[in-house]
Amino acid sequence: MDRIVVEKIVCFGYHGVLLEEQTLGQEFQISLELGVDLSAHKNDQIDQVPDYRTAVSIVEDVMYGQSCRLLETLACRIGDKLLLISGVTEVTVEICKPNPPIPGVQGGVSVIVTRVK
């Protein structure tokens, strides 16, 4: 399977369990892997392949939409919507809180989900 990878889409959002996260907000980093079949691709035309700009728009719509308490919920919502893109048969979504409000955690906290059509 071929893959389109989009790394570190940065969004500021108000997602989280803690009241501070919901009111002050924080940065999130979202990376995607879109499973596609490019074997029949012969032309250098955008309409012949899944457009990753659409994938980025979907991520932004979810991240700037309804607040969620859990990263797991956000990742699942994004994954489900990405599967609706024509030509995409599998998606992996990673959502990272680079600065979680947890003492001692300096590398961020991530959730990774994979969905298959």
Q: Which two tokens stand for residue 80?
A: 């489900």
Q: Which helix (H) or strand (E) holds 76?
A: helix 71-82
Rounded to whole angstroms, the Cα distance separating 47 from 44 reads 9
Asked if 11 and 64 touch (Cβ cutoff 8 Å), the reply is yes
| 8 is an active site residue | no
User: Choosing from 8, 81, 97, 117, which is the catalytic residue?
Assistant: 97
Query: Catalytic site residues?
Result: 97
